[in-house]
Amino acid sequence: MDASIRERAADAGGLGLATDSPDALPPALAGLRIALVHDWLTGMRGGEKCLEVLCRAFPSARLYTLIHRRGSTSPAIEAMAIRTSPLQRAPGVFRYYRQLLPIMPAAAATWRPKDVDLVVSLSHCVAKAVRVPAGVPHVSYCFTPMRYAWQGRDAYLESWADRPVRRAVARGLLDRLRDWDRATAARVSRFVAISETIRGRIAECYHRDSTIIEPPVDTDYYRPDPAATREDFYLVVSALVPYKRVDQAVAACRRTGKRLIVIGAGPDRARLEAQAGPETTFLGWQSDEAIRDHYRRCRALLFPGEEDFGIVPVEALGCGSPVIALNRGGAAESVPAACGRLYDAPTTDALAAAIDAWEAEGRPHDAALARGRAESYALPVYRRRLLNLLAEVVSAKDRHPGVPRPHIAAPAARKS
């Protein structure tokens, strides 16, 4: 078994949670008053799946967010006591909320949880800026430091290259956002990163260390089907936007003559269809059942983008699928070389060469290792690791003299 898999398996079962009682809380967390903070609730994506685990663990917690589109998330999240910011009252806000980035810090300043023993933020934008009462620990589960202020800053400014005045205004705004984002990092007691990639960004942007706990993958659902057979097509599952580099997969398959199926939707679809040859089929977005079926039957998943973590490759591994991925970002950490192929340069040439080399070598793939790797990211593993870290933070707070002990309330009845 891979060493990193063994380490995560040890984390799952050896840090104070009984493995035969998946709903049990570590004793240090029982009865605590907890506040959860999430940037916004407008859909059920990877970040919301991380939040859902905490909502199930702490159904009586208060949940703070900028805006909430009712019914857009899972029942466990919708059942929470959700408190929104003043942005919630802006007419039509769900159509343009991403354009309100300049005023999000002011909206986040309205989050002031009181009478709490622990605050947990899940943040890629402003959630970590929540104002926490003195002496209360704040754990920030960081998907990435604010992208527009840091890694995405140059690309955003380049989009205004033909409008120098607006570009200058945008540069000043992003500079102020960066200063604000760095300053609010001081409100965090402990950072948790979703990958080694994000751990590096946290260190670079905030000069803080962090603990890595990767997001959960539903490996009970994404699992092999013994009756399924591998077919003669490659697969892409992705939003169709430029930074995902789906165009490189399309061009590589056209060059090598390989059949490609693309599952996904987005503004880049028309351009990609114009670029593609007859070997590529676009299916649009599909159900989870259809995606799983394609994972189980594809020759390999192609993953040319650079992601902070990247759940899609792990879902494919869970189904026993080979993965050919760019050797950067989260995929470089989650995809073992024996489960497909990692290639170094983010180019069509490099991807095409990786496909050809993998084919020439007889398509080497260790399906058992792929499944084992995916299981190391399973939802129970995530839950146990995260809850044990929270318990560790609370217990460390107890050990500091002069800091009030957490209020312990009688356990509340769980919401159905």
Residues 197 and 128 in one domain: yes
Residue whose tokens read 């290639």: 343
Domain count along the chain? 2
Residues 310 and 330 in one domain: yes
Residues 24 and 151 in one domain: yes
Residues 242 and 176 in one domain: no
Among 133, 127, 130, residue whose Cα is nearest residue 114: 133
| Alpha-carbon span 80 to 76, nearest angstrom | 7
Give the residue numbers spanning the domain of 16: 7-216+378-399
Residues 161 and 290 in one domain: no
Kindly indicate the confidence band of residue 401, based on its pLDDT and cuts at 50, 70 and 90.
Answer: very low
Residue 82 located in a structural domain: yes
pTM above 0.75, yes or no: yes
Kindly indicate the confidence band of residue 415, based on its pLDDT and cuts at 50, 70 and 90.
Answer: very low
Q: 346-350 — which CB contacts under 8 Å span 24+ positions?
A: 346/245, 346/248, 346/304, 346/306, 347/248, 348/247, 348/248, 348/251, 348/252, 348/255
Residue whose tokens read 């993958």: 217
117 Ramachandran zone, left/alpha/beta (phi>0; psi -120 to 50): alpha
Residues 272 and 132 in one domain: no
Residue 226 located in a structural domain: no
Residues 307 and 179 in one domain: no
Residues 183 and 261 in one domain: no
Residues 6+ apart with CB under 8 A from 196: 212, 333
Residue 410 located in a structural domain: no
For residue 295, the domain's CATH number is 3.40.50.2000
Helix extents (H) in 97-245: 104-108, 153-158, 164-184, 196-206
Residues 330 and 392 in one domain: no
Residue 251 located in a structural domain: yes
Residues 115 and 192 in one domain: yes
Residues 211 and 299 in one domain: no
- Per DSSP (E only), the strands in 179-312 are 190-193, 210-212, 234-237, 260-263, 280-284, 300-303
Does residue 47 carry a pLDDT above 80?
Answer: yes
Count other C-beta atoms under 10 Å from residue 97's C-beta. Answer: 19
Q: Which of 7-11, 74-78, 268-272 has the lowest mean pLDDT?
A: 7-11
Residue 409 located in a structural domain: no
Q: What is the pLDDT of residue 148?
A: 74
Residue 139 located in a structural domain: yes
Q: What is the pLDDT of residue 165?
A: 62
For residue 117, the domain's CATH number is 3.40.50
Residue 96 located in a structural domain: yes
Q: What is the pLDDT of residue 99?
A: 82
Residue 225 located in a structural domain: no
Encode pLDDT of 24-35 as tens digits.
899 999 999 999
Residues 123 and 241 in one domain: no
Encode pLDDT of 314-368 as tens digits.
999 999 999 999 999 999 999 998 999 999 999 999 999 999 999 999 999 999 9
Does residue 410 carry a pLDDT above 80?
Answer: no
